[in-house]
Chains A and B, each alone.
Chain A
Amino acid sequence: DARVTQTPRHKVTEMGQEVTMRCQPILGHNTVFWYRQTMMQGLELLAYFRNRAPLDDSGMPKDRFSAEMPDATLATLKIQPSEPRDSAVYFCASGLASTGVNTEAFFGQGTRLTVV
């Protein structure tokens, strides 16, 4: 069945290390979102792609975070260097937004990141 796949599901890393999270959106979807979930801030939008082009990354700390879509089947979120305050669950979601056709956003299972 169609679903958004995220890897890894869990990641523990030391402060200062690079972290890369991957997302495979649902085939045929043209929008991809990265959200971060913490107890304090809830669900925050980090980045938004449409047709692989970044449309909004205003929620992302630019000095250490970067998001890319190398192709239509892969989205990546990278943190370099990681810090303890980056510890959170990172969700990827995909959807379809085009003239006359829209679907809701489907979420992956998330990557739980712990930076020690």
Chain B
Amino acid sequence: GENVEQHPSTLSVQEGDSAVIKCTYSDSASNYFPWYKQELGKGPQLIIDIRSNVGEKKDQRIAVTLNKTAKHFSLHITETQPEDSAVYFCAASMNAGNMLTFGGGTRLMVKP
């Protein structure tokens, strides 16, 4: 089955700096890679996703890159703000709507 590794497990940055979270996956059949943000006491919420026919996708301060050959993908947050503090999860699956295998999560702390 699929295995997703995520690093780092914790990340502390100063407000305004960039944050990068990296994930690797094992199953070359996976073709859908979402990123979820989980705030305290809430369920994970999708913030951005990428499909395997695309190498990069950007949405305002958030971008995701995918390297299919190396089987890794990354989340980039620029100009971080205190409200970006949360736990971020990467995941992989075969097509959106199908079951997701999650990485272990990254606790991001943005210091004002």
Which residues of A does B touch, CB under 8 Å?
4, 30-31, 33, 35, 42-43, 45, 48, 55-56, 91, 93, 95-98, 102-110
Question: Hey, which chain B residues are within 8 Å of A103, CB to CB?
Answer: 96-97
- A9–B32 Cα distance when bound, in Å, is 30
- A105–B42 Cα distance when bound, in Å, is 15
- The secondary-structure label for the interface of chain A is strand
- A79–B102 Cα distance when bound, in Å, is 23
Task: Name, among B43, B95, B101, the residue most crowded by chain A CB atoms within 10 Å (CB to CB).
Answer: B43
Question: Chain B: interface residue count, which band?
Answer: 20 to 34
Question: Hey, which chain A residues are within 8 Å of B89, CB to CB?
Answer: 42-43
Tell me if A97 and B105 are in contact (CB < 8 A). no
Tell me if B102 and A43 are in contact (CB < 8 A). yes
Cβ of A71 to closest chain B Cβ, rounded Å: 20
Question: Hey, which chain B residues are within 8 Å of A97, CB to CB?
Answer: 95-98
For B46, give its contact among A31, A102, A104, A108 (CB under 8 Å).
A104
Tell me if A107 and B44 are in contact (CB < 8 A). yes
Cβ of B30 to closest chain A Cβ, rounded Å: 14
Cβ of A60 to closest chain B Cβ, rounded Å: 13
Question: Hey, which chain B residues are within 8 Å of A106, CB to CB?
Answer: 46
- A88–B98 Cα distance when bound, in Å, is 23
Tell me if A48 and B99 are in contact (CB < 8 A). yes
Tell me if B98 and A107 are in contact (CB < 8 A). no
Query: Given the known A-B contacts A42-B105, A43-B102, A104-B49, are A91 and B97 also in contact in the complex, defined by CB atoms under 8 Å?
Result: no
Tell me if A102 and B43 are in contact (CB < 8 A). no
Question: Hey, which chain B residues are within 8 Å of A33, CB to CB?
Answer: 99-100
Additional A-B contact list (5), CB under 8 Å, known A45-B100, A104-B49, A109-B42? A30-B97, A31-B99, A35-B102, A43-B102, A105-B34
